[in-house]
C-alpha cells in the first residue's frame, strides 16, 4: 500500500455514549466535538513524525498559536489534496467523524472509502482480537497503553461536578494530544505485524463499508409504540412477580433459582425450553426450528404460586426487547442505523452484528406466527398492550416476535431478500463427494416426486433410514417428532457431533442407544464419505504443522505462513489460525480395551468472550470452518452480483441477503436467479444452490 499511507486517530468528547449508539450516530450527535486528530506516515524512516491537528484557536489567541495551528492545518490539507495519499484507521470511527464533523464543520474535503485501510478489518481477517490493546497483547507488542491519558480523555466528555464546566484548558488538551499520538504508535506497530488484507478481500471490505454506511431505516414510530406496550404490560407483571417471590425481579436468574430450590422445585436452568417443559406446554417447534427438541413435558406438579412466577418470567423475560432501546437511539437524523455489521467478525469470515445485533432477532413467536406482517404491525402500532393481547397474545412476546419488523424500507423503496437453503449441510456433502445425497437435494429443489407420490425431501430420506420405513413422511402428524430428529441429523451431524451431545440436545427422553444408532446411521449409511472428510482435513492440517510443509485435502490447502496456519479454500480465500502449536491430547473416547487414547494434535489461539483462548483443532471443527467459510464466499459472490444489478444491500445474516431497491415493483425472480447462480468453485464441487425469497416493505423471516 505504499509509502504515502498515514495512520489517523481522533480523540473526541461527547454527551453521547459511543458504545451504545455506535460511531455514526455518535459522530452526528450535536454535542460531539473533535479534540484532536493525530496522523503519522507509515514509512518507517519517518517514525516519530506524528502531527496533531486540533480545532482552530480562539479568534483572540496569540499570533504564535495561530501560526502553529496554520502549519499543521496546511499539512493536513496538502495530504488530502495528494490523491495518492492513503489513510489507515482502526474501525469506522475515524471515517464517521471525518464525514460528520471534519467535512461540514471544518471544511475538509470528503475522503472516499477507497483511500482508507482499516487495521480492525485486517486483524479480523487474520483471526486476531479486534480491540486494539488486546490485539497488541496477542501479537506480543511491547507498546504500553497510556491508561492515564485514556482516562483523562474519557473524562473530558463529562462536565466538572462542581462547576458544571467542561475542562478544555490548554494543559489538559496538550496531555490529550500526547495520548493520541501514543495510540497511533500502537496501531502502527500492530500494522507492521499484520500486513494487509489478503488478495480479494479489499473489495469485500469496500462493499462492507458501502453497506454499513448506507445503513438501514428504523421505523421510529413503531419502536416507540412497542416500547410503550412493553413498559405498560410489564409493570403489573413485575409487581406480581415481586410479591410472589418476596422481592425478586424477574431478571435475577440466580436468585430465582435459589428461590425455586427453597420452594422445593429443582430445575436445571431457566431456559425457555425448561420452563415450557415444567409448565406443561410443549415447546412449539415450528418446521424450521432445529432446537429445543430435547424438552418435554416433565412430570412435576408445581405449587400454583411457583407456576405463576415461572409463567410471568416466560411472559416478560425476553432480553431481546432491549433492542428497542438501541433502535431508538442509534439512528442518524435520516432515520437510518449505520455500522450494524462488523466485517469478518466471525472466524471463517462471516459478518458479526453490532449495536442492535440485527443477526439475532427472535424468530416468529407463538403470538405472531402465521399472522401477516400487516396485522402484527397494525396491532403493535396502536401502542395498546391490552388490545395487543386481545389480537395477538401475550404482549411482550408479541413485541419480541415483531421486533424485526422495525427495520423498514425507505419511502419509495422495497425490500427484497433471499437466503441459501440448508447451505451448510449441502456444502459438507458436496465437499465430501457424497454424490447420491447431493443429487437428492438437487431433485428436491426441482420439486421431483418419489414413485409413491411423496415430494423428495432430504429429511424424509434420513428419517426413512433411521426408522427403517421407506414411506416416512415428516409432514404426517404422527411423525412430527421423528421428522425433527431426521432434520437435526441432516443439519447437525456434518461436523462430527457425538452421540452424547446429540442425545442431550435432541432426544434426551430416548435411550442413549437411540442417539448412538442415529449417529451411526448418519456416518455409516447416510453420508459415509463425510467422516472421511473430517479425517482428511485433520490429517492434512496436522501433517502441515508437523512437517512445516503445505498439505492438501479435499481442495483445501493448509500451510504455515508467518505466525499463522492458513487454510486455502476452493474459493481461493484463506482462513487464518493464529499461533499453531503441536500438543499431545487425551481423546474423549477409549480404545476397545477401554484404555485412554493419546494423540498428537495441534492447537491455535482465537478470541473468545473478550479473551485469547487456546483451541484444539480437530477434524470436525476444521470441516465446519471450511464449510462456513465457503458458505460465506458463496454469499459474498452473490452480494457483488446483487449490488451490480440494481439490488443495493442493506443487511446480510450469514446465509441471507436483504436489498432495498427503488420502486414498489421489484423483480424478485431476478433476485433469486442472482442468488442461486453459484460460482466456479461451487459448480466444480457440484453444489446445488437454492434460495427462498420474499419481497416487502418490512424485514421479516
Partner DNA sequence: CGGCAATGCGCC
Partner DNA sequence: AAACGGCGCATTGCCG
Among 359, 422, 544, 691, binds DNA (CB under 7 A): 359
Closest approach, Cβ 643 to DNA, in A, equals 20
519 lies in the binding site for DNA (CB under 7 A): yes
Given the complex with DNA, which of 42 and 128 has the nearer CB atom?
A: 128
149 lies in the binding site for DNA (CB under 7 A): no
CA dist 681 and 328 (Å) reads: 43
Q: What ranges make up the beta strands (E) of 426-573?
A: 551-553, 556-561, 564-568
Closest approach, Cβ 125 to DNA, in A, equals 12
Count of residues engaged in binding DNA, rule: CB under 7 A: 77
Given the complex with DNA, which of 91 and 345 has the nearer CB atom?
A: 345
DSSP 449: B
Given the complex with DNA, which of 5 and 422 has the nearer CB atom?
A: 422
Please count the CA atoms within 13 angstroms of the CA of 449 that sit on its side-chain side.
Answer: 4
Identify whether the C-beta of residue 691 lies closer than 8 Å to the C-beta of residue 409.
no
Given the complex with DNA, which of 63 and 319 has the nearer CB atom?
A: 319
Binding span for DNA by CB under 7 A among 93-101, 557-565, 606-614, 686-694: 606-614
656 lies in the binding site for DNA (CB under 7 A): yes
Among 95, 217, 607, 632, binds DNA (CB under 7 A): 607
User: 3-state class of 564 per DSSP?
Assistant: strand
Strands 564-568 and 556-561, by their bridges, are antiparallel
Residue 643 is placed in which grid cell?
Answer: 449490488
Closest approach, Cβ 158 to DNA, in A, equals 8
Given the complex with DNA, which of 167 and 656 has the nearer CB atom?
A: 656
619 lies in the binding site for DNA (CB under 7 A): yes
361 lies in the binding site for DNA (CB under 7 A): yes
595 lies in the binding site for DNA (CB under 7 A): no
Closest approach, Cβ 287 to DNA, in A, equals 12
Closest approach, Cβ 614 to DNA, in A, equals 11
Terminal C-alpha separation, the chain: 42
Identify whether the C-beta of residue 166 lies closer than 8 Å to the C-beta of residue 153.
no
Angle at the Cα of 627 from the Cα atoms of 623 and 628, rounded to 5 degrees: 115
Beta-bridge partners for 628: none
Closest-CA residue to 494 (of 446, 438, 544, 543): 438
Which positions from 213 to 252 touch DNA by CB under 7 A, shown as an x/- string?
A: ------------------------------------x-xx
Among 96, 409, 601, 626, binds DNA (CB under 7 A): 601
Closest approach, Cβ 45 to DNA, in A, equals 35
Binding span for DNA by CB under 7 A among 173-181, 527-535, 555-563, 641-649: 527-535
CA Rg value for the chain:
28
Among 588, 594, 644, 669, binds DNA (CB under 7 A): 588
Neighbours of 595 (CB within 10 A): 8
Closest-CA residue to 189 (of 8, 42, 5): 42
Closest approach, Cβ 210 to DNA, in A, equals 20
31 lies in the binding site for DNA (CB under 7 A): no
Binding span for DNA by CB under 7 A among 60-68, 359-367, 445-453, 547-555: 359-367
Give residue 228's region: left, alpha or beta (phi > 0; psi -120 to 50): alpha
Given the complex with DNA, which of 53 and 259 has the nearer CB atom?
A: 259
614 lies in the binding site for DNA (CB under 7 A): no
Closest approach, Cβ 616 to DNA, in A, equals 4
Among 63, 589, 594, 596, binds DNA (CB under 7 A): 589
Among 59, 63, 165, 319, binds DNA (CB under 7 A): 319
Closest-CA residue to 507 (of 285, 269, 311, 287): 285
Identify whether the C-beta of residue 565 lies closer than 8 Å to the C-beta of residue 541.
yes
Closest approach, Cβ 135 to DNA, in A, equals 14
608 lies in the binding site for DNA (CB under 7 A): yes
- The backbone torsions φ and ψ at residue 146, rounded to the nearest 5 degrees and listed phi first, read -85, 85
Among 620, 629, 661, 688, binds DNA (CB under 7 A): 620
CA dist 545 and 549 (Å) reads: 7
Host H or E run for residue 65: helix 63-81
CA dist 53 and 69 (Å) reads: 7
CA dist 686 and 438 (Å) reads: 8
CA dist 621 and 436 (Å) reads: 24
Cell numbers 488484507 label which residue? 197
270 lies in the binding site for DNA (CB under 7 A): yes
Burial of 96 (0-12, 13-18, 19+ CB in 10 A): buried
621 lies in the binding site for DNA (CB under 7 A): yes
282 lies in the binding site for DNA (CB under 7 A): no
653 lies in the binding site for DNA (CB under 7 A): yes
Give, as ranges, the residues between 400 and 459 that touch DNA (CB under 7 A).
none
Binding span for DNA by CB under 7 A among 69-77, 80-88, 410-418, 649-657: 649-657
Q: What is the DSSP string of 143-190?
A: PPP-HHHHHHHHHTTS--TTT------HHHHHHHHHHHHHHHHHHHHH
| Three-state SS sequence of 589-627 | EECCCCCEEEEEEEEEEEEECCEEEEEECCHHHHHHHHH
Binding span for DNA by CB under 7 A among 27-35, 98-106, 191-199, 604-612: 604-612
377 lies in the binding site for DNA (CB under 7 A): no
Host H or E run for residue 121: helix 119-125
Among 345, 394, 570, 688, binds DNA (CB under 7 A): 345
Binding span for DNA by CB under 7 A among 41-49, 93-101, 368-376, 647-655: 647-655
Closest approach, Cβ 432 to DNA, in A, equals 13
Which positions from 464 to 503 touch DNA by CB under 7 A, shown as an x/- string?
A: ----------------------------x--xxxxxxx--
Helices (H), ranges, 334-472: 373-380, 385-391, 395-402, 423-432, 435-445, 458-467
Given the complex with DNA, which of 120 and 674 has the nearer CB atom?
A: 120
Closest approach, Cβ 95 to DNA, in A, equals 18
CA dist 477 and 480 (Å) reads: 5
- Note the Cα 350 to chain centre separation in Å: 7
269 lies in the binding site for DNA (CB under 7 A): yes
369 lies in the binding site for DNA (CB under 7 A): no
Closest approach, Cβ 398 to DNA, in A, equals 14
Closest-CA residue to 338 (of 87, 650, 19): 650
Closest approach, Cβ 272 to DNA, in A, equals 4
609 lies in the binding site for DNA (CB under 7 A): yes
531 lies in the binding site for DNA (CB under 7 A): yes
Among 308, 363, 543, 641, binds DNA (CB under 7 A): 363
295 lies in the binding site for DNA (CB under 7 A): no
Amino acid at each position: 500500500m505504499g509509502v504515502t499511507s498515514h495512520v489517523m486517530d481522533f480523540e473526541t468528547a461527547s454527551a453521547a455514549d459511543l458504545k451504545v449508539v455506535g460511531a455514526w450516530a455518535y459522530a452526528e450527535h450535536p454535542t460531539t466535538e473533535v479534540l484532536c486528530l493525530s496522523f503519522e506516515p507509515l514509512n518507517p524512516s519517518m517514525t516519530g513524525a506524528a502531527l496533531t491537528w486540533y480545532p482552530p484557536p480562539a479568534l483572540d489567541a496569540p499570533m504564535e498559536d495561530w501560526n502553529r495551528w496554520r502549519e499543521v492545518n496546511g499539512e493536513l490539507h496538502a495530504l488530502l489534496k495528494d490523491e495518492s495519499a492513503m489513510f489507515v484507521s482502526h474501525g469506522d470511527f475515524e471515517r464517521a467523524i471525518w464525514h460528520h464533523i471534519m467535512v461540514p464543520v471544518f471544511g475538509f474535503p470528503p475522503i472516499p472509502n477507497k483511500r482508507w485501510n482499516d487495521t480492525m478489518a485486517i486483524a479480523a481477517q487474520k483471526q486476531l482480537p479486534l480491540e486494539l490493546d488486546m490485539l497488541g497483547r496477542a501479537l506480543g507488542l511491547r507498546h504500553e497503553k497510556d491508561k492515564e491519558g485514556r482516562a483523562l480523555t474519557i473524562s473530558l466528555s463529562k462536565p466538572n461536578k462542581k462547576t458544571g464546566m467542561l475542562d478544555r484548558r490548554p494543559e489538559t488538551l496538550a496531555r490529550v494530544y500526547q495520548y493520541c499520538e501514543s495510540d497511533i504508535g500502537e496501531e502502527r506497530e500492530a500494522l507492521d505485524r499484520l500486513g494487509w488484507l489478503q488478495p480479494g478481500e479489499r473489495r469485500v471490505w469496500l462493499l462492507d463499508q458501502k453497506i454499513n454506511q448506507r445503513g438501514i431505516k428504523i421505523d421510529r414510530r413503531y419502536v416507540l409504540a412497542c416500547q410503550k406496550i412493553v413498559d405498560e404490560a410489564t409493570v403489573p407483571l413485575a409487581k406480581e412477580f415481586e410479591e410472589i417471590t418476596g422481592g425478586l425481579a424477574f431478571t435475577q436468574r440466580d436468585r430465582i433459582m435459589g428461590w425455586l430450590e427453597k420452594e422445593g422445585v429443582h430445575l436445571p436452568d431457566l431456559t425457555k425450553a425448561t420452563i415450557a417443559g415444567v409448565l406443561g406446554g410443549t415447546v412449539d417447534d415450528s418446521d424450521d426450528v432445529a432446537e429445543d427438541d430435547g424438552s418435554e413435558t416433565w412430570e412435576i406438579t408445581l405449587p400454583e404460586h411457583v407456576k405463576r412466577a415461572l409463567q410471568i418470567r416466560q411472559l416478560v423475560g425476553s432480553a431481546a426487547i432491549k433492542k428497542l432501546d438501541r433502535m431508538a437511539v442509534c439512528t442518524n437524523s435520516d432515520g437510518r442505523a449505520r455500522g450494524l455489521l462488523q466485517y469478518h467478525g466471525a472466524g471463517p469470515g462471516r459478518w458479526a452484528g453490532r449495536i442492535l445485533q440485527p443477526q439475532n432477532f427472535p424468530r416468529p413467536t407463538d403470538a405472531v406466527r402465521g399472522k401477516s406482517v400487516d396485522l402484527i404491525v397494525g396491532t403493535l402500532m396502536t401502542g395498546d398492550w391490552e388490545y395487543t393481547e386481545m389480537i395477538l397474545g401475550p404482549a411482550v412476546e408479541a413485541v419480541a416476535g415483531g421486533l424485526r419488523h422495525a427495520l423498514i424500507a425507505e419511502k419509495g423503496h422495497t425490500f427484497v431478500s433471499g437466503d441459501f437453503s440448508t447451505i451448510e449441510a449441502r456444502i459438507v456433502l458436496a465437499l465430501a463427494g457424497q454424490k447420491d445425497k447431493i443429487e437428492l437435494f438437487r431433485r428436491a429443489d426441482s420439486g421431483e416426486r418419489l414413485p409413491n407420490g411423496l415430494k423428495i425431501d432430504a429429511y424424509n430420506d434420513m428419517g426413512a433410514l433411521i426408522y427403517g420405513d421407506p414411506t416416512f413422511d415428516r409432514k404426517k402428524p404422527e411423525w412430527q417428532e421423528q421428522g425433527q430428529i431426521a432434520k437435526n441429523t441432516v443439519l447437525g451431524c456434518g461436523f462430527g457431533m457425538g452421540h452424547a451431545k446429540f442425545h442431550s440436545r435432541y432426544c434426551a427422553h430416548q435411550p442413549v442407544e437411540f442417539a448412538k444408532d442415529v449417529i451411526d446411521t448418519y456416518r455409516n449409511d447416510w453420508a459415509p464419505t463425510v467422516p472421511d472428510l473430517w479425517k482428511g482435513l485433520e490429517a492434512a492440517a496436522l501433517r502441515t504443522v508437523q512437517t512445516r510443509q503445505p498439505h492438501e485435502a479435499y481442495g483445501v490447502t493448509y500451510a504455515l505462513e508467518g505466525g499463522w496456519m492458513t487454510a486455502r479454500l476452493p474459493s481461493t480465500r484463506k482462513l487464518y489460525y493464529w499461533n499453531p502449536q503441536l500438543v499431545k491430547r487425551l481423546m474423549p473416547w477409549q480404545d476397545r480395551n477401554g484404555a485412554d487414547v493419546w494423540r498428537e494434535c495441534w492447537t491455535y489461539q482465537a478470541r473468545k468472550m473478550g479473551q485469547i483462548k487456546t483451541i484444539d483443532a480437530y477434524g470436525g471443527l476444521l470441516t465446519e470452518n471450511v464449510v462456513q467459510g465457503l458458505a460465506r464466499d458463496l454469499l459474498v459472490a452473490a452480494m457483488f452480483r446483487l449490488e451490480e444489478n440494481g439490488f443495493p444491500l442493506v443487511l446480510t445474516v450469514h446465509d441471507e441477503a436483504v436489498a432495498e431497491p427503488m420502486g414498489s415493483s421489484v423483480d424478485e425472480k431476478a433476485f433469486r436467479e442472482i442468488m442461486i447462480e453459484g460460482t466456479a468453485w461451487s459448480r466444480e464441487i457440484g453444489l446445488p444452490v437454492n434460495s427462498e425469497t420474499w419481497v416487502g416493505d418490512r424485514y421479516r423471516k
